[in-house]
Structures are given as C-alpha cells and as structure tokens.
C-alpha cells in the first residue's frame, strides 16, 4: 500500500513501524518538543502532498497532535487504540502490528477547518459520554467505532464536529455501543 501524504510520527521507531506496514514517507517530530523548523516542514508537506498525523495514543501523542493541528490546518488524522499500541507496558505507534497500522490508515479522517457543530455537548451528556462511571469507556468505544481515537469529553465533541461525523453516524455508533452493553 502506497501512501501519498507524508505521515507525521514522533520518532524513528514509529517510522520503522510505518515502513513495515506501508510504503510511505514520514516526518519525525522528535518527541513532544516540536521545533518551529519541524512545523515549517509539516506546513510545506501539507501544501505539496498532504499530511497524516499519526501520533501515539497517549497524553503526549495527543498533545503533539493538537499542536500540529493548530499550526497546520486541514491535516488528516490516523488513530490506533491504546490496546493496539501497547507492548510490555509501553504505548506507541512503534508497538502496533502492520495490520493495525494499515487499518488506521484506511480509516484516516480529515479535520475540517470550519465545522458545522452538528453534535452538541448536550448530545454527549444524553448519551452518557460526559458524566458517570462508564463515560470514559463509552468514549473509548465511540472513538474506536468511528475511527477518531480516544479523547476526553471536550476533545471528543471537538473531534466529532471537526471530522464532520454526521448525526446519523454518531447515533448509529451509540446504538451499537448500547446494544453491545445490553448483551449478557
């Protein structure tokens, strides 16, 4: 599988994992301290070929994703779950199998600069995504089902709208999550 866009990853091990799975070029951020020169390379890549942000499914990876998204609008995003990226207690893209990486790249989402805001905070509350003991698990399931990764409630609302998840897709995903929860 050949990927046209440049894939932004955190480090060399992530690049190696990507290259085991697909034919692609990467830009490495060098970890959580993203230098302005790196942001400039990502901006140029976005103009020339497009960019897919593929960071680790942890706090630092999400932080890097937010920094790049704010600095380089319109990027595409690929996500893996913490479970798929964990090996011997270490979380990262470098731990994901080639099959998981390919699946994430097949489900890539494009962040839209202007969002319609179709899904509201009230929708999240009504679906048990913002409060209660199961809200975190429900957000994990929703992120996996929609291919947008795990996020806290505020970030989940932003992602749902930034990736222009339709109300129909949101409701279908929530119905499926509820049906799974009803099974013994």
Domain check: are 169 and 121 in the same one?
yes
pLDDT at 132: 84
Comparing C-alpha atoms, which of 174, 77, 178, 169 is closest to residue 124?
Answer: 174
Domain check: are 101 and 119 in the same one?
no
In percent, how much of the chain has pLDDT > 90?
80
pLDDT at 116: 54
Residue-wise pLDDT for 103-152, tens only, equals 999 999 887 765 456 899 999 999 999 988 899 999 999 999 999 999 99
Domain check: are 48 and 95 in the same one?
yes
Axis-axis angle for helices 98-106, 12-21 (nearest 10): 80
End residue of a domain, out of 54, 80, 111: 111
Domain check: are 24 and 100 in the same one?
yes
- Could you tell me the residue range of the domain that residue 100 belongs to? 1-111
What predicted TM-score, i.e. pTM, was given to this entire model?
A: 0.74
pLDDT at 94: 96
Residues with pLDDT less than 70, the chain: 113-117, 182-184
pLDDT at 80: 96
End residue of a domain, out of 69, 84, 111: 111
Domain check: are 14 and 55 in the same one?
yes
Domain check: are 97 and 130 in the same one?
no
Domain check: are 6 and 87 in the same one?
yes
pLDDT at 123: 93
127 vs 147: CA distance, rounded Å: 18
Dihedral (Cα; 162, 168, 169, 170), 10-degree rounding = 70
pLDDT at 110: 86
End residue of a domain, out of 111, 132, 150: 111
DSSP 149: -
What the block records as the tokens of 34 is 């993203």
| Helix, coil or strand: residue 55 | coil
Domain check: are 71 and 18 in the same one?
yes
pLDDT at 114: 56
Domain check: are 107 and 129 in the same one?
no
Domain check: are 174 and 153 in the same one?
yes
Mean pLDDT of the chain: 91
CB 48 within 8 A of CB 57: no
Domain check: are 159 and 85 in the same one?
no
How many domains does the structure of the chain reveal? 2
Domain check: are 39 and 77 in the same one?
yes
């Amino acid at each position: 599988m050949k990927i046209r866009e440049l894939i932004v990853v955190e480090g060399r091990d992530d690049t190696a994992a990507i290259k085991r799975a697909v034919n692609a070029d990467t830009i490495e951020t060098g970890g959580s301290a993203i230098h302005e020169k790196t942001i400039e390379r990502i901006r140029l890549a976005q103009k020339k070929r497009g960019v897919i942000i593929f960071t680790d499914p942890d706090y630092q990876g999400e932080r890097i994703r937010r920094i790049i998204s704010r600095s380089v609008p319109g990027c595409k995003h690929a996500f893996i779950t913490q479970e798929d990226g964990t090996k011997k207690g270490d979380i990262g893209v470098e731990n994901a199998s080639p099959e998981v990486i390919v699946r994430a790249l097949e489900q890539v989402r494009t962040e839209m600069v202007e969002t319609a805001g179709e899904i509201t905070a009230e929708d999240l509350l009504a679906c048990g995504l913002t409060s209660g003991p199961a809200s975190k698990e429900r957000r994990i399931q929703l992120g996996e089902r929609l291919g947008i990764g795990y996020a806290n409630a505020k970030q989940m609302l932003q992602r749902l709208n930034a990736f222009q998840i339709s109300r129909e897709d949101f409701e279908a995903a929530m119905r499926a999550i509820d049906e799974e929860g009803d099974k013994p």
